[in-house]
Amino acid sequence: MNLESKNFIQNFIDEDLKNGKYPDGIKTRFPPEPNGYLHIGHAKSICLNFGLAQKYLGTCNLRFDDTNPSKEDVEFVDSIQDNIRWLGFDWEDRKFFASDYFEKLYNFAVELIKKNLAFVDDLSAEEIREYRGTLTEPGKESPHRNRSIEENLDLFKRMRDGEFADGSKVLRAKIDMASGNINMRDPIIYRIARVNHHRTGDQWCIYPMYDFAHPLSDAIEGISHSICTLEFEDHRPFYDWLLDSLDFDPKTRPRQIEFARLELTGIITSKRKLRQLVEENHVRGWDDPRMPTISGLKRRGYPPAAIRDFCERIGVAKSNSTVDIAMLEHCVRENLNQNAERVMAVLNPLKVVLTNLPENHCEYLEVDRLPNSNRGKRFVPFEREIFIEREDFMEDAPKKFFRLKPGGEVRLIGAYIIKCDEVIKDSNGEVIELHCSIDPTSKSGGETANRKIKGTILWVAASQAIRAEVRLYDRLLTTDNIPNDFLSAINPKSLVIIENALVEPSVKFSAEGTSYQFLRNGYFVVDPDSTVDRLVFNRIVGLRDSWKKIESKE
Ligand code: ATP
Ligand code: MG
């Protein structure tokens, strides 16, 4: 994939600039509706809109499309801002709300009425639906369509003044009931709804429809390119009709461009379904590390730079397709491989006593924090009692098992070669401890340092290791294609908690959000549930990269 190549949106922009359009420069916007938390699909839109502004030395506005007050809330307004900042973008002083424009929007509607391009309709919602026609049959004109301009102005004013019941009247654009495009069949532009708005309170009892508010908000802000997802393609004729009807200058008025939504295998990007997961407690909250919300990805430990990199690499498509989630994980792993310091942690500990060391033996081994970097060294204590990963020992081991077995030898990562002399069991026959001896000259720099040993295993020093809770995450859904009853596809093993993992002491005072590579076990991040006494780690991703395999097969 050529990262330098321009996407089709950039081609449109270049063409517009060449034709002398938008002399004031490129202005984009990210327009979330504050009715839920943002997810990975929104991250794509954020990177695209803010990214284009950066590439063209323009600006990108943050605009809350808050025209549907019944589902909206300040909690969402706040989380959306946090998420965008965390992703690394800045709207500076350009935070807007469609609700700031309610008065202006009202006046635009009045102007349409005066141009005989809008009318107040008394048909019920059901009648309007019946009159609309179908994809194959034209619609029928409303009997109220030919009201005089004066009557329409009067009725619309009285709608605003609260004279009519909710749903009893609407304002509609007057376009063409026979249009092949159903969106052009006299679409509703205002409705009566006595709903408290989280910003304007009870000031309004009529609210503009999205299709009316959006193009006008773009125009009010001087947006040049209004980038949205493909489902709005059929709405573009109305977007254009509205701005042309209100005499916005074609040289500077915004232009709508659609691109394909980002969908990922096995990832829910429906706000409704995400809300259901939270409200029915299938996850621990909007920021549960299994959630594809930006808050969830953050808590999971996905670096924002990896998400930006992913959005850049997948490019911008004109038709819908699904991206393999392994590609996102690949970007995360690539980033962490370069940035996450290495430590040793044993998830399922088995005690080992190194019998030829004295009781109070403690030496500090010096190891790189991050290989091939300038991060310097850390000191890892080495003692007579250590813990190894239980699965690194096997009593009746097959020939190909190169880790520890009775009588066998392995190298402890960064330390000595040890030999297993004795296996200690409890009364149930369960292995509880190993007695081993070290080869004292096998440490780096020692006489037998280069002695060939097939297996290398993890370890931590028993008295200094830190006990930590480790949360291992797997995909939330078991299938790549999300079934309609998606709850049935929830993976019962999507979260496995290890209560007492043992981690080397260098991690002791790590701040929340710090990520590490636990050698052999994957990448982990310090969760906000951590306390001074007890660290909690989330597994970000495992070490193995299935995407690399997919890529190299191609
Ligand atoms: P809805 O409008 O149904 O509440 P939405 O997901 O479209 O849900 P918005 O708040 O309207 O949510 O989205 C804000 C912006 O993000 C819009 O411009 C929208 O087109 C874009 N967006 C939403 N989902 C995706 C996605 N999966 N991929 C790319 N862009 C998306
Ligand atoms: Mg939307």
Q: What is the DSSP letter of 189?
A: E
At 59, the amino acid letter reads T
Q: Ligand 1 pocket, 503 CB below 6 A?
A: no
The active-site residue, picked from 145, 157, 199, 261, is: 261
What does residue 85 show for φ and ψ, rounded to 5 degrees? -65, -45
Q: How far apart are alpha carbons 109 and 101 in whole angstroms?
A: 12
CB of 139 sitting under 6 A from ligand 1: no
Q: Which residue type sits at 328?
A: L
Strand-pair partners of 444:
none
Residue 419 pLDDT: 98
* 271 is a catalytic site residue: yes
Looking at the CA of 29, name the nearest ligand: 1
> Could you say which ligand is closest to the alpha carbon of residue 275?
1
- The tokens describing 249, both together, are 């200058």
What is the rounded CA–CA span in Å between residue 58 and residue 224? 10
Q: Which CATH class is domain 347-461?
A: mainly beta
Given ligand 1 and candidates 30, 40, 45, 72, which is best to mutate, with the most ligand atoms within 8 Å of its CB?
Answer: 45
Q: Give the pLDDT of residue 469.
A: 98
524: enclosing H helix or E strand: strand 522-526
Q: Is the CB of 260 under 6 A from ligand 1?
A: no
For residue range 533-550, list pLDDT tens digits in order. Answer: 999 999 999 998 877 766
The answer on pLDDT for 554 being more than 90 is no
pLDDT at residue 91 is higher than 70: yes
The verdict on the CB of residue 294 being under 6 Å from ligand 1 is no
Residue 518 pLDDT > 60: yes
Compute CA 211 distance to the chain's CA centroid, rounded to the nearest angstrom: 26
Q: Give pLDDT tens digits for 270-290.
A: 999 999 999 999 999 999 999
State yes or no: pLDDT of 423 exceeds 90.
yes
- CATH fold of 467-553: Ribosomal Protein L25; Chain P (2.40.240)
Using one digit for the tens of pLDDT, what is the confidence trace for 198-223? 999 999 999 999 999 999 999 999 99
CB 41 near ligand 1, within 6 Å: yes
CA 268 to chain centre: 11
The pLDDT of residue 553 = 58
- The answer to whether residue 33 is catalytic is yes
Q: How far is CA 444 from the centre of its chain?
A: 44
Domain ranges for the chain, please list them.
8-263, 347-461, 467-553
Q: Which ligand is the nearest neighbour of the Cα of 257?
A: 1
Ligand 1 neighbourhood includes 45 CB (under 6 angstroms)? yes
Catalytic pick among 271, 308, 333, 403: 271
| DSSP per-residue codes, 48-113 | HHHHHHHHTT-EEEEEE----GGG--HHHHHHHHHHHHHHT---TT-EEEGGGGHHHHHHHHHHHH
Instruction: Quote the pLDDT of residue 411.
Output: 97
Residue 398 CA to residue 34 CA, distance in Å, equals: 58
Q: Which CATH architecture has domain 8-263?
A: 3-Layer(aba) Sandwich (3.40)
C-alpha 230 – ligand 2 centre gap (Å): 11
List, in sequence order, every residue forming a beta bridge with 377; answer none if it has no partner.
368
Q: Which two tokens stand for residue 136?
A: 């194959």
Look at the block and give the residue holding tokens 């709608």. Answer: 159
N-to-C CA span, the chain: 12
Residues 499-517 have a mean pLDDT of 97
In the predicted model, is pLDDT for residue 1 greater than 50?
no
CA distance 497 to 56: 47
DSSP state of 490: B
The region of weakest confidence among 48-52, 174-178, 450-454, 534-538 is: 450-454
Q: Say how many Å lie between the CA of residue 229 and the centre of ligand 1.
A: 7
Question: Is the predicted pLDDT of residue 510 greater than 80, yes or no?
Answer: yes
Q: What is the pLDDT of residue 550?
A: 66
Structure tokens at 326: 């392994």
The DSSP-derived string for 476-540 is SBS-SSPPSSGGGGB-TTSEEEEEEEEE-GGGTTPPTT-EEEETTTEEEEE-TT--SS-EEEEEE
Any idea what the Cα angle at residue 236 is, between residues 234 and 238, rounded to 5°?
A: 100
Domains 8-263 and 467-553 are alike in CATH topology: no
For residue 147, pLDDT over 90 is answered with yes
Among the bound ligands, name the one nearest to the CA of residue 271. 1
What is d(CA 186, CA 27) in angstroms, rounded to the nearest whole number? 30
User: pLDDT per residue over 51-62, tens digit each?
Assistant: 999 999 999 999
User: Does residue 151 carry a catalytic annotation?
Assistant: no
Work out the percent of the chain whose per-residue pLDDT is above 90. 95
Say how many Å lie between the CA of residue 33 and the centre of ligand 2.
7
Mean pLDDT for 76-97 is 98
CB 468 within 8 A of CB 503: yes
Ligand 1 near 296 CB (within 6 A): no
- Please compute, for residue 196, the number of CA atoms within 13 A of its CA located in the half-sphere on the CB side: 4
Which has more confidence, 3 or 307? 307
Residue 20 — left, alpha, or beta (φ > 0 → left; ψ -120 to 50 → alpha)? left
Q: What is the DSSP letter of 465?
A: P
Cα angle: 303, vertex 514, 292; to 5 degrees: 40
Q: Answer yes or no: are the C-beta atoms of 512 and 538 closer than 8 Å.
A: no
pLDDT digits (tens, 9 = 90+) for 350-379: 999 999 999 999 999 999 999 999 999 999
Query: Residue 110 pLDDT > 70, yes or no?
Result: yes
Identified catalytic residue from 6, 21, 33, 433:
33
Question: Tokens 């990199």 — which residue?
Answer: 309
Nearest residue to 259 (alpha-carbon basis) of 51, 541, 26: 51
Judge if the beta carbon of residue 228 lies within 6 A of ligand 1. yes
- CB of 347 closer than 8 Å to CB of 522: no
Task: Check if the beta carbon of residue 204 is closer than 8 Å to that of residue 232.
Answer: no
Nearest to 56 by CA among 257, 224, 305: 224
Angle at CA 107, nearest 5°, toward 101 and 111? 140
